[in-house]
Amino acid sequence: MSELLKLQDKHRQEIKELQENCKHEGETGWLQYFWAPGHWNGSYVKQCLKCGKTFEYKSSSGNEVSTFIFNDDEVSLKFSRKD
């Protein structure tokens, strides 16, 4: 395994441990979600201020807003109308 791959694996594991052990005491407001630099798809996320874990993901299409809520082992989905 190359040194780069070893470092990437180590970094992923460190982030995973940080997010698992974080108390998530503060969170952002709704932030625009960019799937790549400069590419916003109209979605928003809320994240922990300390570890960066995503708590909620919101996308809108037409008059409906889909909100995904992330908990430790499950994801729930809520629908609401804009009007």
pLDDT digits (tens, 9 = 90+) for 5-58: 999 999 999 998 998 899 888 999 989 888 888 888 888 888 999 999 888 888
Burial pattern 36-58, b for ≥16 Cβ within 10 A else e, equals eeeeeeebbbbbbeebebbebbb
What residue segments make up the domains of the chain, in order of their start?
3-81
What is the model's pLDDT at position 67? 67
Which of residues 1 and 31 earns the better pLDDT score?
31
Higher pLDDT, 47 or 65: 47
In 3-state terms, what secondary structure has residue 24? coil
The model's pTM is: 0.65
